Amino acid sequence: MADPLFHVADAAEWAVAREAGRYERSTRGRSLAEVGYVHLATADQWPNVLDRFFAGHEGTLLLLTIDTGRLTAPLRWEAPHPGSGELFPHLYGPLDLDAVVAARPLRPGRSAR
């Protein structure tokens, strides 16, 4: 497996996705349909994503570990805004459930790896 990517997911939304057979959440409170892609992150990026975007989140969060070799939707590396020197991986379609090789609980503010 190449270097994995990661996605911070609400545990309840992940449970719904597993029952439905597809994961279509983009980020906290936003769907794939609303945003156009699923936000992913590298091993170095996800702790900041957790701390910045999920502070104050009620409920359980999961860190999904993704095998990029199992993805079927296009994956693009893009800047979050013009002028940003950092690129983030964006998945332009649903996250394949079989591409998620691990899901572990997280707590906002506790991004220790």
| CATH number reported for the structural domain that contains residue 18 in this entry | 3.20.170.20
Q: Which domain holds residue 89?
A: 5-106
DSSP 60: -
**By CB neighbour count within 10 A (0-12 exposed, 13-18 middle, 19+ buried), where does 108 fall?**
middle
The position carrying tokens 């980020």 is 27
pLDDT at 113 over 80: no
Decide if 74 is inside a domain: yes
The answer to whether residue 44 scores a pLDDT higher than 80 is yes
Q: Which of the four pLDDT bands, split at 50, 70 and 90, describes residue 112?
A: very low
Bridge partner list, 103? 64
Q: Is there a domain that residue 111 lies in?
A: no
* Pair 63, 40: CB distance under 8 Å: no
Residue 75 is encoded by which pair of tokens?
């994956």
Place 108 in a pLDDT band, splitting at 50, 70 and 90: low
Among residues 53, 97, 90, 93, the alpha carbon closest in space to that of 75 is found at 90
In this structure, is residue 113 part of a structural domain?
no
User: Mean per-residue pLDDT for 25-52?
Assistant: 92
User: CA-to-CA distance for 56 and 97, rounded, in angstroms?
Assistant: 27
pLDDT (tens digit, 9 = 90+) per residue, 9-33? 999 999 999 999 999 999 888 999 9
